[in-house]
Amino acid sequence: MERLFRMAEIGATKNGGVCRLALSEEDRIARDLFTEWAKELGCAVHFDNMGNQFASKAGYDPGAPSLLIGSHLDSQPTGGKYDGVLGVLAGLEVIARLREENINHKHSIDVVNWTNEEGSRFAPAMIGSGVFAGVFDAEYAYSQIDSDGNFFKEELSRIGYLGKSHDKRKYRACFELHIEQGPVLESEKKQIGIVTGVQGIRWYHITIRGQEAHAGPTPMEMRSDPVRKLHTIIADLYSLADKYQPASRLTIGSIKTDPGSINTVPGSVTLSLDIRQPDNNTLQLIHEEIENICTHKYKDTELEPIWHSPSVPFHKDCIEAIENAADTLQVPYKKMFSGAGHDAVCMSRIAPTGMIFIPCKDGISHNEAEYASPDDIEAGISVLYEAVKSIIK
């Protein structure tokens, strides 16, 4: 908790949050502090060509694959103290406990701080772990530009964290501890979420076309009003979400009328649609029903799929290690899917990976009001510690 509050001072905002954008001066200071702490704990510290930082505690078998623990130290512009930071500092805490308890372990441990997880300064999100896992190449990352016209590579170099190449080592396992960023654990009074995978996601734009007309002189029966169709399409979409409960999530985040004038019947309405489902087959069924609604049930409606990210299952060994740890410690837990993306999703492509969630107040994150209780943090780190110990021994 001391480290967490000390880290929260770097980029602290007025309302108790944090602004520590990737590759900013605040990011540099946070990285330097991470290095300082890691060295105090006897770790060797290095960083790679993406500025991803690794603090290593060697095991007794240099030939055995390492175990990775970590998350990220960058934040949203008005972010909180916990998102990402918790996962990095939990790694240091695990090392500190291993030292305190003088545990002899075979596998080395790397604690990682991934670069630019948030994606709020440089798109896309998870670019540091993404390059590490081979999702993107480094040149693609380097060419990203922030809103002030600064290149990723120049900024990485400016803060002194442009390393030479990336570490090709294979990992025995990867763990990430993170706040849930949703309300489920809090409401179900569970201290631990054992993340079994990340939901599949599909994004769409739906455009409903009508005929722009003056609100005054055009009788109702002579209108082709897209808002009249909008409400039945929305009803159909929510019915679809209801049909595929409990695991499906459907969000209409944006609705726009064109031209959007108070006294004009809109010529068209466009809505965004975000669908999430842990099971890829079910996600496909939902996709087909949406296609059916937009192309067959309604005329003059266009469905434009804009993104599809299939669900990613985490590794059974990692899930099992976390579950055993929670059982041993008698901490109430729940197996669940992650609704959002995390560095662990990238890592799951190249190593057995698992994630641990802890509750956050009211499910709020990416917000200065983000909060996780010391009790829940303690529970999360203890479960992580036990799971790690079971693998590195």
In the complex, the residues that contact its own copies under the rule CB under 8 A are: 180-184, 187, 199, 201, 203, 213-222, 225, 227-228, 230-232, 234-235, 238, 241-242, 245-246, 248-257, 260-266, 269, 272, 274, 276, 338-341, 363, 365-366
Q: Are 202 and 305 in contact (CB under 8 A)?
A: yes
Q: How far apart are CA 60 and CA 66, in angstroms?
A: 11
Least distance (Å) between residue 1 CB and its own copies = 24
Q: Under a CB-based contact definition with an 8 Å cutoff, are residues 169 and 66 in contact? A: yes
Quick check: bond before 266 cis, omega within 30?
no
CA proximity to 4, closest of 386, 342, 370, 355: 370
- Single-letter amino acid, residue 393: K
Could you tell me the end-to-end alpha-carbon distance of the chain, in angstroms, rounded to an integer? 27
For CA atoms 68, 82, 125, 153, the dihedral sign is negative
Which amino acid, 349? R
**Rounded to 5°, angle at Cα 39 from 37 and 43:** 115
Are residues 114 and 167 in contact, defined by beta-carbon separation less than 8 angstroms? no
Three-class SS of residue 43?
coil
The two tokens of residue 131 are: 């390059």
283: burial class by Cβ within 10 Å (0-12, 13-18, 19+)?
buried
Please, what is the minimum distance in Å from the beta carbon of residue 312 to its own copies?
13
Whether 18 contacts 84, CB under 8 Å: no
Q: Are strands 44-47 and 53-57 parallel, antiparallel or unpaired?
A: antiparallel
CA neighbor of 180 nearest in space, from 381, 4, 371, 17:
371
For residue 177, give both structure tokens: 């501890």
